[in-house]
Amino acid sequence: MSIFLIDHQTFLIIIAICVNIYGFGLFLWWWIKIGAATEVYIYVTLLFLASAFMGAIGLYANALYNSDIAAYYKLIESELWSWSFVPAVAIKFLIIIRMMVKVYRSRLYDINARPDRRDSKK
């Protein structure tokens, strides 16, 4: 007998959704307060929102699995389920691309800015 009204998996999904919504709200509040944000900061803010969206669909699927298995399988086969992960993956991809460009540009700057020390000893 469990003292909880919901199962452990549902509880964990709800915690993840709450953390993502809180993170989105906090980042968005700071972004509005400052008035400007870097690209990566914007992407991280949107990543919190996309993760909350993905968690909400997972929570809905978990509820269907526990109550109506036919509706659960219908959801799993739907376009909503197929595309639910795309926003989070796309934002992660944008963060990676942006950081790669940043590293590449800083590396080019480092190569061009520093004189070769081997040549200075001649």
- How many domains is the chain partitioned into structurally? 1
Tens of pLDDT, residues 61-93: 999 998 999 999 999 999 988 898 899 999 999
pTM (2 decimals)?
A: 0.75
Packing angle of the helix pair 86-113, 39-67 (nearest 10 deg) = 160
Task: Tell me whether residue 61 is in a domain.
Answer: yes
Query: CA–CA separation, 40 vs 36, rounded Å?
Result: 12
**CA–CA distance from 64 to each of 4, 20, 54, 69 (Å)?**
19, 22, 15, 6
**How many residues are there in the chain?**
122
Distance CA 90, CA 50 (A): 10
Tally of CB atoms within 10 A around 70: 8
Residue span of the structural domain in which 49 resides: 8-113
Residue 120, in any domain of the structure: no
Which residues of the chain are modeled with pLDDT < 50? 1
